[in-house]
Amino acid sequence: MVDSSTGKEIESQKKFVPGGVEYSIWCEIKPYDERFVELVVDNTLPIVFFDSFSQRGTDGPRDIQGQVKECFTTYLETDSIKVSWEQSKGITSIVDKLKDKELVFGDFGAFSPIYEITPVKDLRDVNSVRGKMGRNRKGFNVERSVGQLVDVKSFSDGELWLEAELEYQCKGMQFYRVNLKLWKEIQRLEVKV
């Protein structure tokens, strides 16, 4: 990525998305200013194709260079934020390093799936069981299942951000993943469930 007015290269990061490639850049722009950016093709780099039966053309390999960074197995960390997880438990810690403050507390991991169901002995009695709950969303005898972290599906370490995808299993759910994107230049954590 090149700044058209100066001809200088701009920090950028690419991500494979359905139907193509998404490029992100980092630049500061003042109000009412505009900046034109060009994508310049580098023909000296080898062309690499990725393929997957389940998501054809949308994903890359788990490890392009044959090296796995240790931080991706249990945590992501920048100068301002550290996100840690443990097998089964999920995300156990999010630390704001600038304020030296832990942001996760309680009995469950951050963003862990929780499935709750109030059992009904006689299905003809559903209305009265629901009526006894009042404004509560669960009954006294609620059965709770907490999701278990089973895999780190993918990760990337680029110029602008770190990214990881955590896969969970939970009763009552067929699919549950948490995507983490931790920006390097600013104190920002994006989470998609």
Instruction: Give pLDDT tens digits for 88-105.
Output: 899 999 999 999 999 999
Q: How would you class 112 by CB atoms within 10 Å of its CB: exposed for 0-12, middle for 13-18, buried for 19 or more?
A: buried
pTM attached to this predicted model? 0.68
Per-residue pLDDT band at 123 (split at 50, 70, 90): confident
Closest by Cα among 137, 134, 135, 141 to 119? 141
Q: Could you tell me which residues are beta bridge partners of residue 57?
A: none
Strands annotated E in 18-172: 20-25, 37-38, 75-77, 81-86, 90-96, 101-102, 114-117, 143-146, 148-157, 161-169
